[in-house]
């Protein structure tokens, strides 16, 4: 079995695969203050709770956008799994032609998403990851990663508005019934949610225009994907396991 971890700014998503089958997945908080032993105990408890044996893990693949905890996680993998983890870095086999000007600038989670989209859906296609940041990527018909866009996530926008003003509160991220709000809360909800959804629609429209492919499939992943899909016709399909599947595929390509 293969263990994969996607280390994000807010959460760590992890999963166990048996071949192509996703056996179990979970998430825990990303914390720079936790030690390798603390992470190890969390993982050991999760494995035990789900009746899984850490000793059955044959390999580990990690993507990370938080370099400051990479050493801690790698140390945890060695001590608690007895395995040397693979960290997704430039130069690994992905099966993609990455058309970034400087591929080393490309986040490893975006590479994993691109690999999964190319394998599962082909191209031309667009993928969106609704995480702490909102990231977009474009896959061509020849399985090339053409580039994309990066913007703030919904929670980041909400936190920035609340912390950057004296009187505006942090609000629940729920789409209000009308754009014209009658309270401060619904005014903020309208501005953030409808504004955010509008920006997603605009970016996807422009990407399809530049691709000269209005029928390009749009795949979404991440915590806010369902909220956007429920209020827009932009997204064709949601795949919550996109990054994890991509990590499994990259592991297999590099293990021969």
Instruction: Say if residue 169 is preceded by a cis peptide, omega within 30 of 0.
Output: no
Q: Decide: 192 and 168 in contact? Cβ < 8 Å.
A: no
CA 100 to chain centre: 19
Residue 109, phi then psi, degrees to nearest 5:
-65, -35
d(CA 48, CA 44): 6
Q: Decide: 180 and 194 in contact? Cβ < 8 Å.
A: no
d(CA 235, CA 128): 9
Maximal C-alpha separation, the chain: 60
Q: Is 109 a catalytic residue?
A: yes
Residues 6, 53, 79, 109: which is the catalytic one? 109
In which element (H, E) is residue 217 found?
Answer: strand 217-222
In which element (H, E) is residue 22 found?
Answer: strand 21-29
Tokens of 92: 């690994």
Residue 229, phi then psi, degrees to nearest 5:
-60, -35
Q: Decide: 245 and 116 in contact? Cβ < 8 Å.
A: yes
Angle at 45 between CA 39 and CA 46, to 5 degrees: 90
Q: Who's near 106: CB < 8 A, 6+ residues apart? A: 90, 98, 100, 145
Active site residues: 109
């Amino acid at each position: 079995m293969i263990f994969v971890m996607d280390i994000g700014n807010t959460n760590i998503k992890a999963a166990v695969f048996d071949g192509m089958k996703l056996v179990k997945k979970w998430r825990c908080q990303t914390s720079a203050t936790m030690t390798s032993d603390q992470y190890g105990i969390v993982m050991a408890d999760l494995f035990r709770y789900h009746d899984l044996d850490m000793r059955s893990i044959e390999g580990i693949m990690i993507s990370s956008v938080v370099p400051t905890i990479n050493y801690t996680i790698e140390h945890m993998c060695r001590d608690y799994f007895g395995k040397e983890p693979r960290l997704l870095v430039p130069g690994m086999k992905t099966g993609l032609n990455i058309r970034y000007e400087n591929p080393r600038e490309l986040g490893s989670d975006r590479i994993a998403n691109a690999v999964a989209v190319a394998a599962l859906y082909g191209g031309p296609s667009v993928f969106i990851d609704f995480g702490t940041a909102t990231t977009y990527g474009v896959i061509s018909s020849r399985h090339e990663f053409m580039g994309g866009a990066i913007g703030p996530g919904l929670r980041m926008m909400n936190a920035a508005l609340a912390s950057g003003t004296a009187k505006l509160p942090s609000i629940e991220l729920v789409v209000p019934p009308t754009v014209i709000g009658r309270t401060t809360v619904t005014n903020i909800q309208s501005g953030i949610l409808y504004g955010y959804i509008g920006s997603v629609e605009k970016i996807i429209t422009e990407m399809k225009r530049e691709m000269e492919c209005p029928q390009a499939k749009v795949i979404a992943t991440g915590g806010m994907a369902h909220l956007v899909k429920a209020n827009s016709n932009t997204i064709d399909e949601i795949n919550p396991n996109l990054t994890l599947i991509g990590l499994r595929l990259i592991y297999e390509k590099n293990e021969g």
